[in-house]
Structure 1
C-alpha cells in the first residue's frame, strides 16, 4: 500500500466523505416542491412548470420525462391554503427560503421534477426541448413498514422531490441536445429490434443486458435473477465495458493503430455507451476505471486495480456524496473490493495461487473469485435484500463466462439482421438460448435444499463488526499468508448469518406488527418459534403482498409462515395473501391457510383455498374454541404456564344461543382471535360488526385485553360502547388507508375510544405499529415516529 500514494489519498478522501454524510448531512437535498406536496393533506397540488426535458424513459403504459431547471407556479384557490411553514429549495447551488403564510407561494424554483405523460402526449418531446406542463404534483411514498422500499429517499438521492402527472404539455422551444436525443432514439429502436426478434420475455431481458433498459423487464424473471444472486447481469458494469471498450481497443491495436488513438476511440465510444444506457453508478465506475487503464497504456505505466477503483469511488463521491449509501455503489465497488482483498485468501486455501496452470488451478481461481465477491457482498446483500443465495457461487461460474457470448451474439446479430436478416436472426436466437439456460439453472437452484437462506436485515453495528473482521483477516494474510485465514472467512460469514437471524427468532418474548397496507389489514405475529399472518390485503395499495407484506417478512428473517388466518373474504383482507400464495416459489412459504368455519365460506374464500392447494399449501377451516400454541408447547387448554403463547378462536360462533341472530357470511362472520402470552392479551377482530359483534358481547366469550385491534378499520358500526365495556382495552390499533373513500376511522369510533381513555394508534399517521412483550412488560412503537 505504501507504493500507492494516489490510492491512499483517495481512500482518505472517501473516509472524510463518509463522515460528512453520516454525521453532517453532506449532499442532503431539500426540495421546495417536495416539502410542499409532503405537507399538503390533499396529497396533490395543481401547478404549472416550465423547464427543459433532460431524460426520457419509456415505461409500459406511460412515458417518464425528467425535467430540469423548473420554474413552478401554483393555481386554483382551493389548493392554495397550507399551514404556515418554511420550505427550502435550491437555485444554482444556493439555498433560498419561502415563507408561505397560510398559502402556497406564487412561484418557486425546482432543480428536477419527474413528469409522467401519456405516450401520445410525449411522442413529439425531445431531449433539450423547453416544456410548459400543467398537471398535479404528488409526493413520493416513504417506507411505511420496516423492510419496505423508500421511494422518497431513492429519488431524493437523485435530487428529485416530487412527481407530476401531466394534464397538458406544450413545447415552448424546439431546441434539442442532438447527441443525447440521437442516442435515446437509437436505444429505443435497438430495443424494438430485439423484442421483435426474441419476443417480449427474452427481448426485454437482452435489452436490459445490452442497453440498460429495464423498464419492461418481466417481473418474475427480474426476481428470479435477484433471488439467485445474478441480478448484476442486468446492470451495465465492468463486464460490459471491458467487452466493448477492450474489444475495440484490442481490435484497433491489432490493425496497427497507435496507443493514444486506440485508447481515445475506446474511451469515447464507452462514454457515448454510458450516456445511452442511463449513466448508472456501475457504468460510470467502469468508464472511469477504463479511462485510467487507457491512461496507463498510453503513458507506459502499470495499471493498478486498487488505485483505479479508489479513484473512481473518490470522483463519484466528490460529485455526489450520497452515492456512498446507494445500493448500486455498494454492490459495484464491493464486488471489486472482494476480488482485490479476499481472492488471494481463497487461492491460498485451495492451493491454486501457484504459477502452475492446469484445469484445476483455473477452476480454483474461478471459485476463489466467486467466493470472494459473495462473501464481501454479504453485508449489502442482507441489508437490502435480506436473503442469501448460497448457490450463486456456482451459478456465477457459468453465467459470467457466458455473458460475453450473449453480448457478442446480441451485438453482431443486431448488425447482421440489418444486412443479412437470416444470419442476424440466428445470432440473436442463440443469445435467447443462453438466456433460456439461465432461467432453467436459476429455477433449479431455488428448488434445491437451502436454495435461499432468509436471515433478515442486519443491524449497522453487526455489519461494521463483520467488515472489521474481514479487513483484519486480510491484514493478517498479508503479514502471515496461511490457509487459516481463508477458513476464518467462512466462520465470519456464518456468524453474520446466524447473528442476523437470531434477532428474529427471539425466544424471550413475542412481537406483533400491524402493518400499514393502506385501506386493509395485515398483522404479523412472531414468537416461540412460530410465525403467523392474520389477514393480508388492501383496496387502495397495489401489490400490497409483494410490496409491503413480503418485504417486511423477509427483513424480519421470516421465510415461512406457519399459519395464515383469513378473517373473511373481502378483497382488502385477502389480496395480499393471494399474491403470497402464488409467489411462494420465490417468496415466503405458507404452510397452512386457516379459513373461518365452512358454513361462512363464500366464493372468494373458495377461490383462495383453490389457489392455496394449487401452490402446495394446506387448507383448514378453524372451529370456535380451537387453540394454536407455540412450537414445542402442549396442545391443551390446561396449559396455563405464563411461558405459553396461545392463539384462540372465539368467533364466529356456530352454535347460536336462543334469541340471538346468526351472523351473515362476510363482515359479520369475521374470524375473531384472541392472543395470549403470560399476562399479555390482545384481541383481533377482522371486520366484525352488527350481529357478529352483538353475539360476541352477549355470549360472554370476551374478556379484558391489554390491546384491541379495532374492527373494520375504525368503522362507526364496529367497536360499540358495549363491546368496549367488555374488552376494556388499554390501547387500540386502527388499520386504515390515508384519505380513504369510506372516511375510516369514523369520528364516532374515535370518540368512544377517547371517552374510555384508550391510547389509540392509527397506521395512517403511525405507519406500522409494533408491539413487543415478554409476558409482563409491553412496548408499542410507531414506525414513522421512530424513523
Structure 2
C-alpha cells in the first residue's frame, strides 16, 4: 500500500519529531503503546518491535545531530569573514544576497546569510572576504509572520551579515574549473532567454527551469499562489519527470545501449541539479528517478513508493532538519499522492477512459497537500484542483521545450526555435491563470488549521487508501471519503465563526508604529491603524500575514487615528489587498491630502469613508458593544497631527479599552475625567511611550489594570521613555510591550479577560 521504505521514513521521522520538539513524554508513552498493540495484535509482534526500534533510532539520531541554538551574542557586531559563496547570488536592482560557507571553527558561523546594499557581480564558488555587521536574525513578532529565524536555522544558518560598501568585498580566489563552467553556462542561459523572450515571459521561464522566483512580478507570483499553481516555480518532480522523458527520448535517438542511456540521463540530471543548486525537491526527484530508471533498465518493477521512501531516508539522514522545511513536506506529500493515492483509486475503479487519468493525477497530488497549503500559506484553492489539470501539462510542454533550448544555448538561433514555443505556452499559461483568478471563489483565505485537524485529515486519507487498496466494501470507502470532505469544510470555515461571543483585541508588533486588530463578539473585523515605514512594507510583511493567519476575507471597518506614516502606510497596503466596508478618519482631517489614496481605494472598492469626532458613537450594530469617540472635536485645527489623534473608548460588558493614538499631554488631560475615576481595564500608552505624552493624571483618571506600549526594538527615539515606565510602575499598572512581548492579545466574554503574548 505505501511501501516498506515509506513506512520506515514515517517511523524514523516520528522519532525525529519527538526529539525536535522535546516531547519526552512521547518516548515514555511509546513503549506502552507498542505493548498495547502487541497484546491486541500478537501475530504482528515482529513488525511492532521493528516499528518501535525505527522510531527509537530516529529519536537517537536527531539527538546526535541536533544543533545548539544558543548563539553567543558577543560574536555579533562589526566582523571580517572569509569563505566560499555556497549558492547562486540573488541580484536585484539595488541589492545582492547569497550564502557563504566559512572556515570558522564555530558551528554557528559555518554558514552566514549575506546581504549587500548594492548590486554585486559575484558567483557561486568564489572565495571572498567580507566586512560587515553580523547579527542574529529577528524572530517573528506576530502569528502568521514569516519565521525567518527558523527558516535559516533549518539551513544551519545562525547569523546574517549586512555589507554596506562595495569596498567591503574582496575576491581572494576565483571560481574553480567545473563551478566556473556551470556559472558560465547558467549566465549564458539567462542572457539568451532575456534576449529572445519578452521580460515577463523570460522571468517566468527562468523561474520554471532554474527556480529563479525572485525576479517574477510580485503581484503575478501572488496570483499564481492564490490559484494553486505556484508549484511550477519550485523545481520538483513535475519538472524532473518531464526532463527524464525528454533526455530518455534524446538518448534513444542517439542509439545508446540501455546501460549507456541510463548513465546519459543521470549525467544530465546531475548537471541540471548542479545548475539550480540542488534544492530538496530536486534531490528527492533525482534520487527517485535514478532508482526508477535503474529498475527499468534492469527489467524489474520500479516500486515508486519504495523509491519515494528511500529518497526521503537519504535526505533525512544527510540533514534531519530538512524534515521541517516546507519544500520537503510539500514535495514528498505531493509525490505520495501520485505514487500511492492515484494508483489505489485507479485500480479500485478500473475505468478505461484515459481522460480520468488526466484529471486524477493532478487531483491526487492536490488532495495530498491541501492541509499543508492551508497551514503554511493560509490558502485553499478550489480553482487549483481544476487549473492544475490544464496548467501542469502546459508546464510540462514548457519544461520539455525549454530543456531543448538549454542544450542549444550556445547556438542562439537554434535555441530560439525552442524558446519561442515556450514563450507562446507561457503566454497561454498567463492567460489561463488570469481567467481562473477572476472566477469568484477561485481561492479562499483560511485560518491556520490546528495540528489536530491536519493529523485527522491525513489519518482519514490513509483510511481511504487502505479501503481502496484492500478492496473493502463500498460503505467503508464512502465513510472516509465523506469525512475527508468534512475535514476540507472545517479548514474552509469562515473566521467569524471562531470564538463567537468573544471580543478580541490584538496589538500587533509592527516595529515603531501602531496596528490594532479587533474582532467583535459577533465576528466582525476592525483594523485600527496599520503601522508603516519608509524602509520596508510593514503591512505586507507583518499585518497582512497576521490577517491571513486568521483567515480574514473581509474587514468590516478600517480606522486611522491620524495620518502619520507609522499609522497610515500599512493601512493603505491592507486596503489595497483586503476588501472593507467602511473607513473611519478624524472629521477634523477629512480634507487632509494624506487621505487621498485611502479615498481612492475606498471608491474603487465601493466602501464608505466616514468622519468621526468627539461625542459620536461608532455603530458596529452589535448589542452590548459600544465604541465612543472622545477626541478630537470636529472643528479643531492643528498642523501637528498627533494633537488630532482619534481617541476611542470601547466597552463590552465589564471589559473596557481606551485607544488614545499619539495624543499629547495636553490632549490627554482634556479627555481625563475630572473629580472621579472612569476605570478602564486596558489602555494603549499614547505615542509609543513618548515623554511628550506623559500625564500622570491620565492614568489616575482612567485607572487601567494593564497598559500596552506599541514600540519598535532599539528605536532611535528612545521610546518608551523611562519616566513613562516609572509612572506606570508607580501606579501598579501591568506593562506589556510589543518590542519585548510581540503581539499582545486580550480576549473577553464581557465578564473576564485573558491576556496572551506571542513571545513568552
Determine if the TM-score, normalized by the shorter chain, exceeds 0.5.
Answer: yes
Q: 1:348 to 1:455 in 2, by over 3 A?
A: farther
Partner residue in 1 for 2:44: none
Whether the 8 Å CA contact 2:685–2:708 is kept in 1: the answer is yes
TM-score norm. by structure 2 comes to 0.88
2:517 to 501, 518, 524: 524
Write out per-residue CA displacement over residues 308-338 of structure 1, whole angstroms, 9 at most, x where no aligned residue: 1111111111111111121101110111212
Is residue 492 from structure 1 mapped to residue 488 from structure 2 by the alignment? Answer: no
1:622 to 591, 603, 612: 612
Partner residue in 2 for 1:97: none
2:630 to 630, 650, 666: 650
| Deviation of 1:17 (Å) | 3.5
Partner residue in 2 for 1:227: 226
Whether the 8 Å CA contact 1:594–1:621 is kept in 2: the answer is yes
1:711 to 686, 705, 710: 686
CA–CA distance in 1 between the matches of 2:756 and 2:492? Answer: 21
Q: 1:755 to 1:11 in 2, by over 3 A?
A: closer
CA–CA distance in 1 between the matches of 2:665 and 2:14? Answer: 63
Partner residue in 2 for 1:689: 664
**Secondary structure of the structure 1 residue equivalent to 2:158:** coil
Write out per-residue CA displacement over residues 588-618 of structure 1, whole angstroms, 9 at most, x where no aligned residue: 3222211111555421123322233234433
Partner residue in 1 for 2:88: 56
Q: Which runs of 5+ in 1 are unaligned?
A: 73-88, 91-108, 635-643, 657-661
Q: 1:340 to 1:130 in 2, by over 3 A?
A: closer
Q: 1:626 to 1:294 in 2, by over 3 A?
A: same
1:450 to 415, 437, 441: 441
| Deviation of 1:47 (Å) | 0.9
Is residue 204 from structure 1 mapped to residue 195 from structure 2 by the alignment? Answer: no
Q: 1:427 to 1:663 in 2, by over 3 A?
A: same
| Deviation of 1:670 (Å) | 0.9
Q: 1:173 to 1:652 in 2, by over 3 A?
A: closer
CA–CA distance in 1 between the matches of 2:598 and 2:725? Answer: 33
CA–CA distance in 1 between the matches of 2:259 and 2:606? Answer: 62
Partner residue in 2 for 1:179: 178
**Secondary structure of the structure 2 residue equivalent to 1:516:** coil
Larger strand proportion, structure 1 or 2?
1
Corresponding residue pairs, total: 715
Partner residue in 1 for 2:72: 36
Q: 1:722 to 1:618 in 2, by over 3 A?
A: same
Partner residue in 1 for 2:645: 670
**Secondary structure of the structure 1 residue equivalent to 2:77:** strand
Partner residue in 1 for 2:33: none
2:471 to 480, 486, 496: 480
**Secondary structure of the structure 1 residue equivalent to 2:714:** coil
Residue pairs, 1:363-378, within 5 angstroms: 363-378=355-370
Whether the 8 Å CA contact 1:70–1:112 is kept in 2: the answer is no
Q: 1:600 to 1:727 in 2, by over 3 A?
A: farther
| Deviation of 1:171 (Å) | 4.9
Q: Which runs of 5+ in 2 are unaligned?
A: 23-58
Write out per-residue CA displacement over residues 63-122 of structure 1, whole angstroms, 9 at most, x where no aligned residue: 3332223338xxxxxxxxxxxxxxxx43xxxxxxxxxxxxxxxxxx721112233666x4
Write out per-residue CA displacement over residues 245-281 of structure 1, whole angstroms, 9 at most, x where no aligned residue: 2321233234431111111111111011111112111
| Deviation of 1:620 (Å) | 2.0
CA–CA distance in 2 between the matches of 1:474 and 1:526? Answer: 40
CA–CA distance in 1 between the matches of 2:632 and 2:433? Answer: 45
Is residue 66 from structure 1 mapped to residue 102 from structure 2 by the alignment? Answer: no
Write out per-residue CA displacement over residues 514-543 of structure 1, whole angstroms, 9 at most, x where no aligned residue: 000001111101131201100002236611
2:554 to 557, 560, 585: 560
Residue pairs, 1:310-459, within 5 angstroms: 310-343=309-342, 347=346, 353-354=350-351, 356=352, 361-413=353-405, 419=411, 421=413, 425=416, 427-459=418-450
**Secondary structure of the structure 1 residue equivalent to 2:454:** helix
Q: 1:367 to 1:655 in 2, by over 3 A?
A: same
Write out per-residue CA displacement over residues 99-149 of structure 1, whole angstroms, 9 at most, x where no aligned residue: xxxxxxxxxx721112233666x43x5544433222211221211100100
Q: 1:189 to 1:302 in 2, by over 3 A?
A: same
CA RMSD of aligned residues (A): 2.8
CA–CA distance in 2 between the matches of 1:321 and 1:178? Answer: 31
1:160 to 145, 157, 161: 157
Whether the 8 Å CA contact 1:246–1:266 is kept in 2: the answer is no
Name the stretch that deviates more: 405-414 or 219-228.
405-414
1:133 to 108, 111, 130: 130
Residue pairs, 1:50-129, within 5 angstroms: 50-60=82-92, 61-71=94-104, 89-90=106-107, 110-117=109-116, 122-123=120-121, 125-129=122-126
Partner residue in 2 for 1:581: 575
Q: 1:480 to 1:297 in 2, by over 3 A?
A: closer
**Secondary structure of the structure 1 residue equivalent to 2:463:** helix
